[in-house]
A and B are shown apart, each in its own frame.
Chain A
Amino acid sequence: MTRAPLPLPQAPGFLETRRIDRWWIQPTLVFLGFGAFIVYSTWAALQGNNYFTGGPTHPGAQQLLSPFYSPVLWDAAGLHSGHAWFGQQPAWWPSYLLFSPALFILPFPGLFRFTCYYYRGAYYKAFWGDPSNCGVGEPGFRGTKYRGEQKLPLILQNAHRYALYIAILFIGILGYDAWVSLWSIDAEGAKHFGISVGSLVLTMNVVLLGSYTFGCHCWRHLIGGRQDCFSCHKHQHAAWKRVSWLNQRHMLFAWMSLFWVGFSDVYVRLCSMGIWTDWRIVG
């Protein structure tokens, strides 16, 4: 396509636009929404405590586990959640480094959201002004040096499907956590079935996260979208149509699941701290 440069009008200046609607509201809300989640989730991940209820230390309570901390590879020192795969904080962990079970977990769902097609479009606008909104001018320093996702570093966004594979594993683990939340263990170690508000919170969490994860654009491609002949691959076509339904609502589920996963941590944390009571509905 190399040819004489087109005599184009000068690019608009930063935030220059002739739009007269309130175009700045959407990127501002996205900035505040993502910003609030990043600040809260970082704070919660660094706490390293109050991430569960029930288990050996709280007999009789429903076994709730914060999704920020699931799966628990190692419990923080002195805590026995009953969920840890490998026991207590490992001895090899350097004493000068802060230990929190969430630090091993949160990077993975974080990476899935960071590379998500919906979030990319949203945070490029809200955080980088690239552009701030449709038809609104960009910062002048980028100009023709713009690289987009064509070159490093953002070409790495093409690895989104690998983040998806891990996110699907997490849906299974969080589904198991929702099942475990239906049970409490008494002082003698016997299991009792019951449904509490917390069980519903964690169940809703996995439903919303699943709706977001399985509406992923990569998943839509891998499940059937890559085929040109749908009549030759009827099962893939059927799956593609169902995923397309979720994909059309990807933004909705992205926000709902983001809010709910944060709320789930708040709920478990406040119950663990004794500030809220996890009311039992059944059992």
Chain B
Amino acid sequence: MSSHSHPVTDATATRPVEFKIWRGDAKGGAFEQYTAQVTGGMVVLDCIHQVQAEQAPDLACRWNCKAGKCGSCSAEINGKPSLMCMTRMDTLPADQPVTVEPLRAFPSIRDLVTDVSWNYEVKKKIVPFKPREPDRPDGTWTVFQEDVERVQEFRKCIECFLCQDVCHVLRDHHKHDEFIGPRFLVYTAALEMHPLDTADRIADLKERDGIGYCNIGKCCTKVCPESITITDNAIIPLKERVVDEFYDPITRLLRIFRPK
């Protein structure tokens, strides 16, 4: 999902840019046209705020940090799930209107705001971190950097749910009852690969969490604003752990002889 680059050389120059912003709620809606005056350095969220301030004070939009860290301003910009605060206007084609619409994988509340509470319900059901007995009497453990390095990548997640939005299993097939989505596969990987964790989530991954629905399109990886290698580093290694446990007769046989 590449972007077109049209660098603005003069930071003080202003140019009008046409926007098509989706207005509506769960019952339906339509795109409405607005014009924003864009200067160098502006991001899409700046334009939405400008439209809100000058043309449509009732335009609903969720935002918070404006720094790409809170994950609130997720939307679809020119069809690409993106953070509005991290999408610079000079990366979008200047000669066509910019389309901004809410995430499609979640129910609409109003305008650009969607109800993402399904994600919080999913998270509650994942078996939580269960550390082994402490290494020392003072209740502490020794953990080496090489052991947690892999997990640290997953901890960068800001829960913007762009990966959930672009995943076709949720977006196109509406498998919300059978599939937890890339965000929570990353979350499970962070727990499952943690060197101190003793809980087993592999059976859940196979059945309840529906990891097999992922067909490795890597769209989640492409839209992640934190550049987490979701598919290669989290989902596929988890799929392989499921294979170890349920589909590989050799590893199943070896487990019988492995010392407990």
Contacts and interface: CB of A to CB of B under 8 A. Distances in A.
A225 interface: yes
A18 B99 contact: yes
Interface stretch (A145-153, A191-199, A255-263, A270-278): A145-153
Of residues B99, B108, B192, B193, which shows the largest number of chain A Cβ atoms within 10 Å of its Cβ? B193
Interface stretch (A79-87, A102-110, A201-209, A229-237): A229-237
Interface centre among A1, A6, A221 (most CB of B within 10 A): A1
Greatest chain B CB density within 10 A among A11, A138, A150, A229 is at: A150
Contacts of B3: 21
A18 B168 contact: no
A117 B236 contact: yes
Interface in A91-125: 117, 120-121, 124-125
Given A1-B208, A9-B107, A135-B219, 11 more contacts: A6-B106, A6-B176, A8-B174, A12-B104, A18-B76, A20-B78, A23-B1, A138-B172, A144-B175, A155-B212, A161-B240
Contacts of A159: 247
A159 B240 CA distance: 10
Contacts of B194: 228
B108 A135 contact: no
A283 interface: no
B213 A148 contact: yes
B248 interface: yes
B105 interface: yes
A3 to B, nearest CB: 7
A56 interface: no
Contacts of B157: none
B49 interface: no
Interface of A: 1-3, 5-9, 11-12, 17-21, 23, 117, 120-121, 124-125, 130-131, 134-135, 137-138, 142-144, 146-151, 154-155, 158-159, 161, 217-218, 220-222, 225-226, 228-231, 237, 247-248
Contacts of A131: 168, 172, 217, 219
14 contacts: A8-B105, A9-B104, A11-B173, A12-B171, A17-B79, A18-B99, A19-B80, A21-B3, A131-B172, A135-B219, A142-B172, A147-B213, A155-B212, A228-B193
Top 9 nearest A-B pairs (CB, nearest first) are A150-B212, A18-B79, A134-B219, A19-B79, A221-B240, A148-B213, A121-B216, A146-B173, A231-B144
Contacts of B2: 21
Interface string B77-88: 011110000000
Most buried by B among A138, A220, A231, A247: A231
A2 B231 CA distance: 26
Interface string B159-180: 0000000101101111111101
Interface residues of B, number: 69
Contacts of B230: none
**Which secondary structure dominates where chain A touches chain B?**
loop
Contacts of A237: 146
A158 B247 contact: yes
Contacts of A228: 147, 192-195, 197
B9 interface: no
Contacts of B241: 221, 226
B243 A130 contact: no
A237 B144 CA distance: 13
Nearest to B24: A9
B244 interface: yes
Nearest to A138: B172
B26 A7 contact: yes
Interface string B235-253: 0110111111001100000
**Could you say which of A5, A9, A130 has the most chain B C-beta atoms within 10 Å of its C-beta?**
A9
Contacts of B140: none
A135 B237 contact: no
Contact of B240 (A20, A218, A231): A218
B125 interface: yes
Contacts of B174: 6, 8, 11, 143-144
Residue of B4, B122, B146, B242 with most partner-chain A CB within 10 A? B146
Nearest to A130: B215
A11 B80 CA distance: 16
A23 B222 CA distance: 13
Contacts of B242: 158
